[in-house]
Amino acid sequence: MPPPSSRLVSSAPRYQQVAEELQNAIARGDHPVGGLLPPEPQLCSQFGVSRHTLRDAVRILCDMGMLHRQQGVGTRIKRAQPQQRFVATLDSLGDLMQYTQETRLNFLGSRWLEVKPPLSEWLGCAPGERWLELDTYRAPLEEDTPLAHMKVYVRPECEGIAKDIRDGDGRAWIYGLIEQHGGEPILQVRQTVSAVAMPKESARVLHVKGGSPGLQVRRQYAGADRVLSISVNVYPLNLFEFMTTWRLREASPDPLG
Amino acid sequence: MPPPSSRLVSSAPRYQQVAEELQNAIARGDHPVGGLLPPEPQLCSQFGVSRHTLRDAVRILCDMGMLHRQQGVGTRIKRAQPQQRFVATLDSLGDLMQYTQETRLNFLGSRWLEVKPPLSEWLGCAPGERWLELDTYRAPLEEDTPLAHMKVYVRPECEGIAKDIRDGDGRAWIYGLIEQHGGEPILQVRQTVSAVAMPKESARVLHVKGGSPGLQVRRQYAGADRVLSISVNVYPLNLFEFMTTWRLREASPDPLG
DNA sequence: AAGTGGTCTAGACCACCGA
DNA sequence: CGGTGGTCTAGACCACTTA
């Protein structure tokens, strides 16, 4: 077997070359979407590489979402083109609550309620279930001008959160409290941003006119198989922007650090 | 060498165990942040695994952003805790313009302007530069009720975009047009969502009252070293929600498919 | 039972970096 | 130059799926 280099053009590692050739073959339609790739041993001999090298190549295409490997079955072609081109990352949800550091969470009250649509849909539960509603607002550390009105809905077993917020130092972090009281890790967060006409209740808290423009940010915190909690934030005009940066997946990993 | 299993508790693959042990060691401070991990051969004997298995383990921690490998130097500890816990992905920006399929982009007009703040900041250029402003709106395919008012700002060399939109079939896709005319791939998209009081101009286009609540979605399309274009969308109340789902990085890759 | 991908080993050579 | 991580091979056994 000749050494892997000694080619003319290619200086790229063999597994990258194989990945590229495979990608081209799939894009060309040699392997139809939905079908199975030939077994690894066959591909190995076809490309003249060891199984390990081939698997490194296949891994790349899996990461790009084109292939899906399943033990005992085979490698299925999911897409002819790479998906997930853009990726956004969060450092442990720090960005989601970016200004937690400079603000304080204040307790207004809490009450039990039987949820109705659309709340029940947001919670992923049947109408009529009992959840605890926490009424809070967020303000700068030294002032008391509210920046946001927030309602949080938690399951009965997380009732203790209310006390933590009421008696805490205001540095509480909904995300952490949920994991702590629910005893279940948060695996997924879904965030929905929309425009709202300021509801009366929020308007009163935020000292703005009812019906004036506002931003509603709804966050759904989910565990393995159920919604653990949701929060609904309302921000007045000009006080809040939500920014997300998407990077090309292939691009160098975070040039900023 | 005993077979890799025959332990009591662990059924997880050895490389995952090693990754976990390494992660714990780093979290404990055995290997200080900023320092170098012991060389791979040493770690191999320490964990009693082959170099390949060890490298699989190290790869996991690299993916979690805790380690950084550099050929000829070593493996440096970047963080004691995993970063980038949550990840959101976009399928080639399909979600960003999710309803492109069902709507049409309509041309209203275009004009040259010398940009001023805040536009110049959004464009990442000096005030006074000349950009082309495209005025457009988006409506359902069969109707003409506008769903969104959109302004797009492009560099002079992308002037042709105006013609494409005006004379096109309305299925044009800003993202694609920019890459096509600019001759430069888009590497990053930054999206900023905020509440707005409906500007007069948008209000007229959207047939709503000026000053009524609206959602502004600003998108900055950037190439390798400069902003290629930005678009500013304004949506009326109740017609648009922006949703993002963040998943735990370690979680299984997209249970929904 | 046969065939798939998943894991692991032992050993080799290379490209790169810093002293 | 010596040591690092990067790549690659040949071969082995295992876990899983399907029939």
Rounded to 10 degrees, what is the CA torsion of A200, A202, A208, A209? -20
Of A131-135, B15-19, B102-106, least confident by mean pLDDT is: B102-106
Angstrom distance (rounded) from CA A229 to CA A136? 15
Q: Give B67 CA → C19 C1' in Å.
A: 25
Query: Is B52 in contact with B13 (CB distance < 8 Å)?
Result: no
CATH of the domain at B184: 3.40.1410.10
- Cα torsion A226, A229, A230, A231 to 10°: value is -160
Contacts of B95 (CB under 8 A, 6+ apart): none
- Look up the domain containing A27 and give its range: 14-84
For residue A55, give both structure tokens.
């698997």
Going by pLDDT thresholds of 50, 70 and 90, the confidence category of residue B15 is very high
* A7-16, A49-58, A63-72, B137-146: least confident range: A7-16
Beta bridge partners of A190: A220, B245
Owner of token pair 């076809």: A46
CA dihedral B22, B28, B31, B35 (to 10 degrees): 120
Regarding whether A50 and A166 lie in a shared domain, the answer is no
Best of B59, B71, B92 to mutate (most A CBs within 10 Å, chain A): B92
Is B103 found in the same domain as B80?
Answer: no
Confidence class for position A85, pLDDT limits 50, 70, 90:
low
Note whether B204 and B108 are same-domain residues.
Answer: yes
CA A198 – CA A235 distance, rounded (Å): 9
pLDDT of the residue at B23 = 92
CB A107 within 8 A of CB A172: no
- Higher-confidence residue of B255 and B152: namely B152
Q: Confirm whether B137 is domain-assigned.
A: yes
- C1'-nearest nucleotide to the CA of A69: C5
- Range A148-165 average pLDDT: 91
Q: Residue A179: which H helix or E strand, with range?
A: helix A174-182
Question: What percent of chain B has a predicted confidence (pLDDT) above 70?
Answer: 84
The CATH number of the domain where B68 resides is what?
Answer: 1.10.10.10
pLDDT at B3: 36
Residue type at B152 in one-letter notation: V
Q: Does residue B50 lie within any of the structural domains?
A: yes
The pLDDT of residue A256 is above 60: no
Residue where one domain finishes, among candidates A43, A58, A84? A84
Q: Is the model's pLDDT at B228 over the cut of 60?
A: yes
Query: Domain check: are A107 and A221 in the same one?
Result: yes
Reply yes or no on whether the pLDDT at A55 is more than 50. Answer: yes
pLDDT given at position A216: 92
> Are A46 and A76 contained in the same domain?
yes
At residue A211, the pLDDT reads 92
> Is residue B83 over pLDDT 70?
no
Contacts of A211 in chain B (CB under 8 A): 213
pLDDT computed for residue B84 by the predictor:
53
Q: Is the CB atom of residue A53 positioned under 7 angstroms from any atom of strand C?
A: no
Say if A256 falls within a structural domain.
no
Q: Check whether residue A257 has its CB closer than 7 Å to nucleic acid strand D.
A: no
Strand C at less than 7 A from CB of B19? no
Interchain contact, A86 vs B87, CB within 8 Å? no
The answer on B109 and B76 residing in a single domain is: no
Q: What's the pLDDT at B207? A: 93
CA–C1' B38–C17 (A): 16
User: Is residue B92 a part of any domain in this protein?
Assistant: no
A55 touches strand D (CB under 7 A): no
A56 touches strand D (CB under 7 A): yes
Name every chain A residue with its beta carbon within 8 A of the beta carbon of B15: none
From CA B68, how far away is CA B26, in angstroms rounded? 13
Q: State the pLDDT confidence band at A2, using cuts at 50, 70 and 90.
A: very low
CA dihedral B30, B31, B33, B39 (to 10 degrees): -170
Q: What is the pLDDT of residue B113?
A: 93
**Is residue A247, in this structure, part of any structural domain at all?**
no
- Where does the pLDDT of residue A94 fall: very low under 50, low under 70, confident under 90, or very high at 90 and above? very low
Average pLDDT over every residue of B22-29? 92
Contact across the interface for B244 and A88, Cβ inside 8 Å: yes
Domain count, chain B: 2
Mean pLDDT of B66-75: 91
10 Å Cβ neighbour count for A59? 14
Q: Could you give the residue ranges of the DSSP H alpha helices within B113-208?
A: 119-123, 160-167, 174-182, 200-206
Residues 6+ positions from B38 with CB-CB distance below 8 Å: B46
pLDDT at position A137: 92
A74 with A121, same domain: the answer is no
Contact (CB, 8 A) for A157 and A179: no
Among B57, B84, B111, give the residue marking a domain's end. Answer: B84
Q: Does the pLDDT at position A38 exceed 70?
A: yes
Contacts of A73 (CB under 8 A, 6+ apart): A36
The answer to whether the C-beta of A72 is closer than 7 A to strand C is yes
Q: How confident is the model at residue A32 (pLDDT cuts 50, 70, 90)?
A: very high
Q: What is the mean pLDDT of residues B209-238?
A: 89
Say yes or no to pLDDT of B174 above 70: yes
Strands A67-70 and A213-222: unpaired
In this structure, the answer to whether residues B116 and B173 fall within a common structural domain is yes
* pLDDT at B93 (0 to 100): 45
Select from B96, B187, B195 the Cβ nearest to the Cβ of A237: B195
The pLDDT value recorded for residue B89 is 62
Q: What are phi and psi of B197, to 5 degrees?
A: -85, 125
Position B63 scores a pLDDT of 84
Contacts of A141 (CB under 8 A, 6+ apart): A102, A103, A104
As a whole number, mean pLDDT of residues B113-134 equals: 89
* Shortest CA gap B211–chain A (Å): 8
pLDDT (tens digit, 9 = 90+) per residue, A111-126?
999 998 888 888 888 8
Predicted local confidence at residue B98, as pLDDT: 52
Examine the domain organization and report whether A140 and A216 are in the same domain. yes
Q: Are residues A41 and A142 in the same domain?
A: no
Is pLDDT above 50 for B254? Answer: no
Residue A255 lies in a domain: no
The string of pLDDT tens digits covering residues B84-101 is 566 666 654 444 455 555
Q: Judge if A108 and A161 occupy the same domain.
A: yes
Tell me, what's the pLDDT at A5? 36
Q: Is residue A92 a part of any domain in this protein?
A: no
pLDDT band at B251 (very low <50, low <70, confident <90, very high): very low
Residue B196 lies in a domain: yes
Residue B67 to chain A, least CA–CA distance (Å): 13
Say if residue B149 is in the same domain as residue B179: yes
* B194-213 confidence digits (pLDDT tens): 899 999 999 999 999 999 99
Listed residues A43, A60, A84: the one ending a domain: A84
Strands (E), A26-162: 67-70, 74-77, 86-90, 103-114, 130-140, 148-154
Lowest average pLDDT, out of A7-11, A48-52, A143-147, B239-243, goes to A7-11
d(CA A176, CA A203) in angstroms, rounded, equals 28
- Residue A38 CA to residue A35 CA, distance in Å, equals 10
Please give the pLDDT value at position A196. Answer: 93
* Chain A interface mutation, best of B81, B85, B244, highest count of A Cβ atoms under 10 Å: B244
pLDDT of residue A174: 82
